[in-house]
Chain A
Amino acid sequence: MAEPCSPAPTADALLHCLEGLDLGIVILDGGRRIVHWNSWMSRHSGIPRRLAIGSELCELFPEAQGGRLAGAVREAIDTGLSAVLSHHVNASLLPLMRADNQGEELVAQSIIVRPVKIGAGCGCLIQIHDQTYAVERERKLRVQRNARYHAIVEAAQDCFVTVDEGGLIQGMNPISEVRFGLAQDAALGLPIGTLLPGLEDPGRLGAPLVEMRAVGAEGREFDAEITTGSWIGGGLRYYTLFIRDVTERNQAVEELRRSQRMQALGQLTGGIAHEFNNLLMVMRANAELLQDTGTGPNADHIRSLAAEIVRAADRGRNLTDGLLSFARRQPLRPEPVQLRTMIAETVRMAIPSLGADIDVQVECASGDPRVLADRAQLQNALLNLLINARDAMPNGGRVLVRAQSGPEGFCTLTVADTGVGMTPDVLDRACEPFFTTKGPGRGTGLGLSMVNGFARQSGGAFELDSMPGAGTRASLRLPCSPVEEEPSAAEAVAPDPIASDPIASNSGHAAALLARFPPLRILVAEDDPQVREVVVTMLGSGGHRITAVEDAMAALEFLIDDEADLLLADVMLPHGMSGVVLSREARRLQPRLAVVLMSGYNELAPGQADLAGPAEILRKPFTRRDLDHHMLAALEQVGRR
């Protein structure tokens, strides 16, 4: 048998329990006057019971007037409805304070209002729950729950941005705030299109991996690679975008692509120039021979026709020079060059061809910047840039030529015009050989490619900066030169005998030179039969004993049995052994052999030169005078003269 129950509690006992409740209890009668006010309410409101009883809520808390609580009280008393009011949704409810010495902190409260019978009429019961601890606990739990996620997301150097399916931003990590220059508070609710214009249409969310432009802090755009994760929370789909700034990577890739393309073009043009030089060699040498041999009635006419061929071949050589310059295969003689003087000279030379509509201004940094570069090529480059500037300004304009020191170890020569500028497509290809926007007959399209090749071969760089309508700025960066190495101007511009005008060679002089040769035993190794034949013909009048072979093996076979004074070999020989290797092997057999190497390029690579030993390099196409000159030098090198 269960123990008998205690008697039902009295009204007083019940009231006492009500008092002890750890929540606020207020009871209103049908006239909305307070009939009960428990001690929790007194404690937290600071209003004692004797003042509260008989008052209306709005008299005690004027801020509650017309608010949601007043409405809920009215509906409870008049209609009989119940209501819940939460601190989450309602910005302010009752101004109750914490009463546990926690300072001036307001109670986060949830209020329940429900109708109750008071005597014969209808009143209402208001229960006020202190949610402060619950709020704090929820916050802590949330922090704990999210700790690992936040540890990753907040340390990440990639941007994490969460958006809802409508594309509105729901959250972002700290690095996103920095990269996009936007505080999280300001970003929440913004459309993602603000940061990633490519995602203005939320239908594009959720693609696996995309690259697009992003608008970063201060409107600065960058290339963004975006991976999207999608998840569902509270029945809604969300997307978390992992945004990586790949601007630098893209630039590096683009730079690599460009340099590979340039390299390929360089190889191609170098190869073409080499083959072409062989053809020019044949044409030119035969034309020269024609000039010398004419004796018949039409001799003068033949000589003038031959002279035309020589001139055409020389123009052809200028073109192959340009190609080789782009291919960075030209011989450079770097020397200290004072930019101020060089610019002044070049501009003075250029002004007549620039025309009166072009105003040229020169600015040279103090400290007299000097570079280490080939003077003639540098002048050539500046001329090219000036001519380009002129062509970009058909209606006239201003060209600013500026020499500056820096960056570290370099000087920069800038030519800026106020011309029509270039579109990104044109700019991208401007340094390719034969790329030109000028009309037919206005340029070879080699100008900028030569400048570019020259800059790189000189250990510097060349950059173009342009926008349509905003002019073009060409910057040539070259290594600085130590100050004390400046030679006298006369010395610096002294013409190089080899580079002197090939047209000036004349057969009379050559004959005089030839006369100084004793008859020699000469071995010619050249794979191109036409070139071989013309070289043999050139040598023929000297009384030499000439043997001509077509590759290095044949040459070596000859040298094993027979002696030779001089080897005249093409650098590029077929069947795996070059003229360079041939000269080394030939010297093993005959140490005092003089060597002249013929090359369609301008000079040997450094390793090749060492390999060849003492040898003269003869550039194709060459004249008989060039040939004699180099043969003499080669004989001197091995002490045969």
Chain B
Amino acid sequence: MCLSEMEQDAITELLNVSVSRAAVALSRMVDRPVSMSIPVLRILSRDEALAALGGGTPSPLVAVGERFSGPFSGSALLVFPETRSLRLVHAILGERIPLEEVMDMAEEAMAEVGNVILNSCLSGMANMLACRIEATLPTCYQGTADQIFHRTIRHDGDARILFTSIDFSIRERDIGGYIVLLLDLNAIANLRQAIDRYIASLSRGAGG
């Protein structure tokens, strides 16, 4: 997949806008300010994405995944190191909840938080690209990066992955994770067209 620099910037921009909406949704849920940011978007191969996630070590990760379909279809994953995910859940549920209860609720809460963030991203992209993206309910995965990819992303040597890290700050806790978007092969052309239309609409808007 080749996206021009401008196209990559456009997607980063899209994700940033979407994620700031996710932050608003989360802060409403926890009744606290939540800030999120997305640095640069990278386009990686499956192996590169694996390396970026696991850092080469089989450390346990937690992921929330959704399949989406529409003009471009694929999978979206929100991935955290397991240690960070519990911290995220704890921050969302509040420090006052006893630890043992947090552990019991972790998976459910994690699925919902992932759902909020991924849906914000997907609906943001759908809105701006003026298309409809349907998505399934979120599923929670635990395991190494390899195990999670195996269950969520088809092994495809050519697959290209849109990869970005996401930083949260909730209740004075900073939590870093990753957003992984895997586009089906047929979807890339459609995404490019949609982005190009979006860029064109922006420049028209700027010009007029």
Contact = CB atoms under 8 A, between A and B. Distances in A.
Interface of A: 66-68, 71-72, 75, 78-86, 88-91, 110, 112, 114-115, 138, 142, 146, 162, 164, 168, 170-171, 185, 188-189, 233-238
Contacts of A84: 111-112, 115, 137-138
Contacts of A91: 29, 31
A79 B123 contact: yes
Interface in B50-74: 60, 62, 66, 70
A83 B114 CA distance: 10
Contacts of A138: 104
A94 to B, nearest CB: 15
A189 B133 contact: no
Contacts, number: 113
B83 A236 contact: yes
Interface in B84-109: 85-87, 92-93, 95-106, 108-109
Contacts of A81: 119, 122-123, 133-135
Interface of B: 25, 28-29, 31, 60, 62, 66, 70, 81-83, 85-87, 92-93, 95-106, 108-109, 111-113, 115-116, 119, 122-123, 126-127, 132-138
A75 B123 contact: yes
A85 to B, nearest CB: 7
26 contacts: A68-B25, A68-B116, A79-B122, A79-B126, A80-B126, A81-B119, A81-B122, A81-B123, A82-B119, A83-B115, A83-B119, A84-B112, A84-B115, A85-B112, A88-B93, A88-B109, A88-B112, A110-B108, A142-B101, A142-B104, A146-B100, A162-B99, A233-B103, A234-B82, A234-B106, A235-B60
A75 B22 CA distance: 12
A79 B113 CA distance: 19
A138 B100 CA distance: 11
Nearest to B120: A75
A78 B104 contact: no
B168 to A, nearest CB: 15
Nearest to A114: B137
Nearest to B142: A235
Nearest to A189: B95
Contacts of B62: 235
Given A84-B137, A89-B112, A162-B99, A68 B132 contact: no
Given A79-B127, A235-B86, 6 more contacts: A84-B138, A110-B108, A115-B134, A170-B98, A171-B99, A188-B98
A479 B7 CA distance: 96
B29 A90 contact: yes
A68 B87 contact: no
A234 B103 contact: yes
Contact of B119 (A75, A89, A168, A189): A75
Contacts of B126: 78-80
A185 B94 CA distance: 11
B135 A80 contact: yes
Contacts of B98: 170-171, 188
A-B CB proximity, top 8 nearest:
A189-B95, A235-B82, A80-B134, A170-B99, A234-B86, A79-B123, A88-B105, A82-B137
Contact of A80 (B70, B85, B100, B105): B70
Contacts of A236: 82-83, 86-87
Of listed A71, A80, A85, A238, residue having the most chain B CB within 10 A? A80
B109 A86 contact: yes
B57 to A, nearest CB: 14
Contact of A79 (B101, B116, B133): B133
A525 B196 CA distance: 123
Given A112-B137, A170-B99, A89 B83 contact: no
Contacts of B66: 82
Contacts of A115: 134
A583 B127 CA distance: 117
Given A75-B123, A90-B29, A82 B99 contact: no
Looking at A82, A115, A142, which has the most chain B CB atoms within 10 Å of its CB?
A82
Nearest to A238: B99
Contact of B112 (A86, A114, A162, A189): A86
A88 B132 contact: no
Contacts of B123: 75, 78-79, 81
Nearest to B97: A188
